[in-house]
Structure 1
Amino acid sequence: MDAYVRSPLWCSDLSHLRIGRGVFMNIGCRIEGAAPVVIGDRCQVGPFCCFENVNHTETGDQALPVSIGAGVWIGARAVLTPGTEIGDCSVIAAGAVVTKKVPGGELWGGVPARKIRNTPPVQ
């Protein structure tokens, strides 16, 4: 199965976007493409998620990659900030704001997102 992306999708630079096989992205997602954004195989992305990779600092803009492992589920309206890495088979709750690295196999939620519990092993 190839990736399926529902429109509209807003992406500032498609040349930095890599989407794996079997990915489903729901409507209204926004991807800031000033640095690489990698979405691994079999990811499920809810509606209106934002993958932001530009930081506005006192010394100017800085772009950091966003990396999402295989088998990740991301709930509606979640925000991934610059430099975010999501490990394989993790779940990001709806509305979460992820500001740091998420290890594989964990459920994270809240603002800012924090670990809630481990996810069940994939069968």
Structure 2
Amino acid sequence: MKKVYLLIYYLFAQYLPMQPIPGYKIFYKIRYLLCKKLLLKCGDNVIVKNRCYFGNGSKLRVGDFSQLGQNARISGPVTLGKYVMMGPDVVIMAVTHDISDNSKPMIDPSHPSLEKAVVINDNVWIGTRVVILPGVEIGEGSIIGSGAVVTKSFGPNSVIGGVPARFIKNRV
């Protein structure tokens, strides 16, 4: 049955419009109900904006009142806490290539990939076109500025930005 839900999501539901189009709340509800069936965990009142890609969803946990942004691309084991706000075009990659064996090309299908979980804690704002790389943890209450490339973890209430992302200031 999960394959049917995946087909419905990727062939139809992901393309349903967002606000301010009349009826957008129904479209959000359709995507939400499908994600309740597809994701490892999908909390209450989650908003899934259009064209969000998350593979088959089997490694994605999303907390209550969080959002998956428009055109988001999420892969591997990823946990989003409660009240996570995500701008458009965010990329969260928890999968990378194992580069320790250079005896075969990385494009070789037998070349192993590595999963390093990404954790975004509660009440985090992820700006437009942020890229979060494998193994990163973002502390509760943090803000990630638009266009940042996050290569390392940051503690609670951090304001971070840049390429690569760096600590800018504490929110508190």
**TM-score, normalised via structure 1 length:** 0.91
How many corresponding residue pairs? 118
| Counterpart mapping for 1:91-106 below 5 A | 91-106=143-158
Q: Conserved in 2, the CA contact under 8 Å of 1:13 and 1:32? A: no
Stretches of structure 1 that go unaligned for 5 or more consecutive residues are: none
Residue 146 of structure 2 aligns to a residue whose secondary structure is coil
CA–CA separation in structure 2 for the residues paired with 1:85 and 1:13: 22
Higher-Rg member (1/2): 2
RMSD over equivalenced CA pairs, Å: 1.1
Q: What corresponds to 1:10 in structure 2?
A: 53
**TM-score, normalised via structure 2 length:** 0.66
Which of 95, 102, 105 is residue 54 of structure 1 equivalent to? 95
More helix by share: 2
Q: What amino acid maps onto 1:14 in structure 2? A: G
Please identify, of 24-33 and 71-80, the stretch whose mean Cα deviation from structure 2 is larger.
24-33
Q: What corresponds to 2:74 in structure 1?
A: 31
Q: What amino acid maps onto 1:10 in structure 2? A: Y
Task: Name the % identity.
Answer: 37
Please identify, of 59-68 and 100-109, the stretch whose mean Cα deviation from structure 2 is larger.
59-68
CA–CA separation in structure 1 for the residues paired with 2:58 and 2:139: 23
Which of 68, 83, 86 is residue 42 of structure 1 equivalent to? 83
Stretches of structure 2 that go unaligned for 5 or more consecutive residues are: 1-43, 102-111
More strand by share: 1
CA–CA separation in structure 2 for the residues paired with 1:40 and 1:111: 24
